[in-house]
Structure 1
Amino acid sequence: MFDRPVGGDASVLVSVDFGEPGYEDSLQELRQLVISAGLAINGTVEGRRPKPDPKFFVGSGKADEVLATMQATEAKVAVFNHDLSPSQQRNLERLLEARVIDRTGLILDIFAQRAQSHEGKLQVELAQLEHLSTRLVRGWTHLERQKGGIGVRGGPGETQLELDRRMLRIRVKQLREKLDKLKQQRGMQRRSRRRSQVLSVSLVGYTNAGKSTLFNRLTQSGVYAADQLFATLDTTSRKLYIPDGGPVVISDTVGFIKHLPHALVEAFGATLEEAAQADLLFHVVDVASDNRDDQIEQVNLVLSEIGAQAVPQILVLNQIDRAGIQSGLDRDEYGRISKVRISAKTGEGMELLRLALLEHQQSLFAKQPTSYQDA
């Protein structure tokens, strides 16, 4: 029986095992991504290779198998569990006579569907254009006619392809300028919070680990939360007050994933900077996941990439109700809370998180003067 969301295009998944660890987890994650994108899964084609084929990535024989599977299942889209080169993608589309999406393109499609805020839409568009720029090559032969005139129509002798490239560069420049302004505004807000001695906490973690559910539980908010990958993209911040402490600003950030496209990390720089500039990170982990250790490692890799590796971090082991373990906390060798076991869904252990916030707040602002200027 096909897994077919209402209105979803039929797809065939293509995954190649190159002998690297975590292959089955990666394939299962691809299935979740495809469903999150609203596509139906009509079949899966798997194979083993020592390295990618230069022309079709999977080799000509396996490419023919993908074609036969798509024809038999009437699938319209081939989704690859890997990143394809522009030439590989074009070659496959010619052979299959269907749309071919690689892993990066799939994640970009999901982000485009989920972005709600103005900033989120700008970031997604920038990431899409950066990805598209590598695909603007001679595959667009139907557009390569000469154009005359000036301005947006191109100069004398400028082909449609050259015009498309130039317009893409102009739009990318505009988007970067707009996002830089938003980044400056965020910086001003952070400086204001620090002068007021407001603790800044960012929720980070692998996608679908329960960050938005935890955010709602802590702040009594109504942020959208669902059992799907990348349920929310836009950073949301709320203020709460800790008894015997003071105000805390909690920010819910976009979830991370293995092989998160670099274009997305770069485009979401203004948003992800909230984590890099935070006073404390709550690293939310699905403790019931068999792959939790690898997910923790992947999140830490992205945190390092955005310059947040030095920010103090508390590991929040979420979903203890599913794992069948009790709430509790662990402290490091210096007596600081380093790990908390909770259930954001049931509320069990939430008082331990508030204790962690209070202790970090008291420790941080006890070391700082009551008023200061940021460097």
Structure 2
Amino acid sequence: MAARVRFRRSAYSAVVKGKVASSGTLGLLVSLAAWFERMARTHDRGRRQRPRRVLSQRFERTRSRAMPQNRRRQNDPTARRIGVDWGTTHVRAWLLGAGGRVLDVRRDDRGMGRIAGDEAAFGAVYDTLVADWPDVPALACGMVGARQGWIEAPYVEVPTALIGLASRAVTVTSPKGRRLAILPGICQREPADVMRGEETKLVGLALEAPDVASSGFALLPGTHSKHAALEEGCVVHFRSVPTGELFDVLGQHSLLRFSLERDGAYDAIAFDDAVLEGATLRAGELTAALFNLRARSLLEAFSPAAARGRLSGLLIGAELALLDRERPIALVGSGGMIEPISRAFRVLGRPAPRVFDGDALVRRALAHLAALLEGADI
């Protein structure tokens, strides 16, 4: 194209300089050359300008992609507050908008267990998590308020109103001047028991299902499962059952580990049979039944998946036998524990519990309680 343009320009110059003899031919060539010149200028302008427009558009798109979402969050007018769930093994923080809507989420594996007793470490982790978020009111729950946490938020004794927990929060200030309110846990004197973190899920449950909070029973499975009796929005008593911890210890550190399936798969029939058995066994009988797993794997064609199903079924069956049969039950949790426990309810012929997502309840509770502390709308 460039060669053709150069030819047209030279032809036009020749015409203008009188190098073409015929006047008739001269007029025609002058017209043609002028047209070629206009086309050449248009083409040159396009070649000079189009790349600038394209580059500008590409730069704008690249700049938009490169600008971190989190930098734009610094001045996000929709951000209302920050909610933090700081457990033993990890910490999660949510930037929340109106109505508790999640705008952003951060995670870190420096739970209380890794930095216990190190006040400076807690402050550094928190400042890193929220560094580019707006400085809005923040509320935390969980082991961050334990005796080995950032600061101790003393337990509140049962019976206690769930909504009233906000008034018992304690506040810390991070090295960068960020204030964080921390909710207390709940304790029971007789029989002695404690919970820290689960009470926030119960607050969310009371907001989500007022009928359960009025007269119901909550089952929160986990490392240390919690069974909580609720009346008129209060926790009146509760029990901790270390089902998850027993399963992990027996399955990973006892002789039974040589008999269990390692990839998490379990035999459903063996599980069902063990749930029925576990729900009827006394404590001494349960421990004998646990060792029976090892003997059967040595003497029978008892597969690792069947052994895993039996261990899980015995422990879950024994736990569910402790539940109050007179109250409607809410199952609060997330992840892999919900399916086997729901199955165990069916095996035992008990009404299916209402299932609630534990993470969603925590976020809702933190947003609601933080608003109460501020005296603001959620």
- Asked if Structure 1 and Structure 2 have the same fold, meaning a TM-score greater than 0.5 normalized by the shorter chain, the answer is no
More helix by share: 2
Which has more radius of gyration? 2
User: TM-score normalised to the size of structure 2?
Assistant: 0.27
User: TM-score normalised to the size of structure 1?
Assistant: 0.27
